[in-house]
Chains A and B, each alone.
Chain A
């Protein structure tokens, strides 16, 4: 005989699966494109988890979605007034030498070996790369950013502090740096040069020349 469920008891006891929210973002600009429950965006490659409260405020329109962007390196959602233009430093970012760096921890390390004419690019272990971070940053919490492996990085090698004078340009992908370093051979450069790049990661350094 079919059991008749007490609907009121059913409602009292029902445990709905907890909804987790994500923000889907443009990997180049950090601009947030959509916010919603994670199951709705299973096929989207660029997304970060979002707390329920923030997600609901965005969905309800109390926080404007076009005021949100993802700090790609920090894996966090930031809410800010978005400016209408990119900063030049984001599209043409100079990689400073280690001795002039005003930050403690870089994300991308580039070294040039003049005797071998090789340029080596490494991602730190924080981003699943090969560059070990200094003792003071151990143990390293690996970032949860979801990368598209084919995100392209272009390095413009130029005259010292002058991107108007281009020596050469090299291209690699983020996938090239996961669990491995990328070595470019036959890169003949003068004693002094600079490297510029589109700023995908926050901090880049060039080993002292």
Chain B
């Protein structure tokens, strides 16, 4: 398969990542053009997938349990069944056709990691709340929630191999390279940013582009004049029967990384399923 989206999850007692991945896959099927709507799911419980009403939204389900939680995403290059892949976080929703971004990446990039995020009001996120490790240690501002890569690429292999080494040895890499501000946890974002810096490839894999555009709903980066634990304390999440989303009174057009895991309810799933069935 030439191109597809990859979602990597593992079962978690606190959150239903399968439900989030299912919502994301449905939203991809509902909005993307044929040829740009393939989805592969990596999970440690493929049996649960078969119990979904429309498990067909996952074109491929890969059983894999070598890592848990977000560590699994650093294996995306090894797990993907696609020649060209965009690996996504599970807690995202597609709201319109973004196929033209893919055309660009396939044509022009071996590896591209998003390096900008937007608020729900379409403002560029400039706050470094949650990202002190990046600013203090002068890391490239990478967001792994949207990562494009080609399967057979030396650059890609080198990058992800180093990324995995960082995640496996967080203390050593933190002591050496993140001494100005050590993160509590070296997550995928930190590992990818540090790998890009060490390999000195940030200008190749994260050069300025107007896309991908992802609305990042971490509460402290919304340019509000007050602190907030949860964005949903301040603005509503309004998902209508057409699969259109408003956050507060702002219509959303970009990919929405909703962050709060309870946003995908049975009702939201039902809306997405009905759209998929009628398509």
Where the two chains meet, the residues of A that have a C-beta atom closer than 8 Å to any C-beta of B are 83-85, 87-89, 92, 94, 96-97, 100, 102, 159-164, 192
Smallest Cβ-Cβ distance to A97: which chain B residue? B267
Number of interface residues of B (CB under 8 A): 16
State whether B240 touches A162 (Cβ < 8 A): yes
> What's the Cα separation between A100 and B267 when bound, in Å?
6
Question: Assuming A84-B226, A96-B267, A100-B265, is B232 touching A161 (CB within 8 A)?
Answer: no
User: Which of B235, B238, B266 lies at the interface centre, i.e. has the most chain A CB atoms within 10 A of its CB?
Assistant: B238
In the bound complex, residues from chain A placing their C-beta under 8 Å from that of B240 are: 159-162
Cβ of B121 under 8 Å from chain A: no
Measured between beta carbons, the chain B residues less than 8 angstroms from A92 are: 236
Q: Are B226 and A162 in contact (CB under 8 A)?
A: no
Residue of A nearest to B270 (CB): A100
Given the known inter-chain contacts A96-B267, A100-B265, A100-B266, please indicate yes or no for A161 contacting B239, CB distance below 8 A. yes
Shortest beta-carbon distance from A156 to chain B in Å? 12
Count of A-B residue pairs with CB < 8 Å = 41
- Contact of B238 with A164 in the complex, beta carbons under 8 Å: yes
1/0 contact string of B238-279 vs chain A (CB within 8 Å): 111100001001000000000000000111001000000000
Partner of B232, one of A84, A85, A88, A164: A88
Known contacts A100-B265, A100-B266; A162 and B234 CB within 8 A of each other: no
User: Can you list 9 contacts pairing A with B, beta carbon distance less than 8 Å?
Assistant: A84-B226, A100-B265, A102-B265, A160-B241, A162-B238, A163-B238, A164-B238, A164-B249, A192-B241
A96 and B239 CA atoms in complex are apart in Å by: 13
> B238 to chain A: which residues have CB within 8 Å?
161-164
Q: Which residues of B lie under 8 Å from residue A161 when comparing CB positions?
A: 238-241
Q: Which residues of B contact A83 (CB under 8 A)?
A: 233
Known pairs A161-B239, A161-B240, A164-B249; A88 contacts B233 (CB<8 A): yes
Q: Are A162 and B246 in contact (CB under 8 A)?
A: yes
By beta carbon, the residue of chain A nearest B231 is A88
User: Among A84, A100, A164, which residue has its beta carbon within 8 angstroms of that of B246?
Assistant: A164
Task: List the interface of chain B (C-beta within 8 A of A).
Answer: 226, 232-236, 238-241, 246, 249, 265-267, 270
Shortest 10 CB-CB distances between A and B: which pairs?
A100-B267, A87-B233, A162-B238, A161-B238, A164-B249, A161-B240, A88-B236, A160-B240, A160-B241, A162-B240
Q: A161-B239, A163-B236 are in contact. List 18 more A-B contacts (CB 8 A).
A: A85-B226, A88-B232, A88-B233, A89-B233, A89-B236, A92-B236, A100-B265, A100-B266, A100-B270, A160-B240, A160-B241, A161-B238, A161-B240, A162-B238, A162-B246, A163-B238, A164-B238, A192-B241
CB closest chain-A residue, reference B242: A160
Is B234 a contact partner of A85 (Cβ separation < 8 A)? yes
B249 contacts which chain A residues (CB < 8 A)? 164
A192 to B270, CA, bound (A): 14
- Interface contact B266-A89, CB-CB below 8 Å: no
Residues of chain A within 8 A (CB-CB) of B265 are 100, 102
Docked pose: A94 CA to B267 CA in angstroms: 13
Q: Are A85 and B233 CB-contacts (below 8 A) given A100-B267, A160-B241?
A: yes
Q: How far is the CB of B196 from chain A (nearest CB, A)?
A: 38
Contacts of A89 in B (CB 8 A): 232-233, 236
B244 CB to closest chain A CB (Å) equals 9
Question: Which residues from chain A contact B233 at a C-beta distance below 8 Å?
Answer: 83, 85, 87-89
A160 and B232 alpha carbons, distance in the complex (Å): 19
Residues of chain A within 8 A (CB-CB) of B266 are 100
Name the residue among A85, A88, A92 with the largest chain B CB count within 10 angstroms: A88
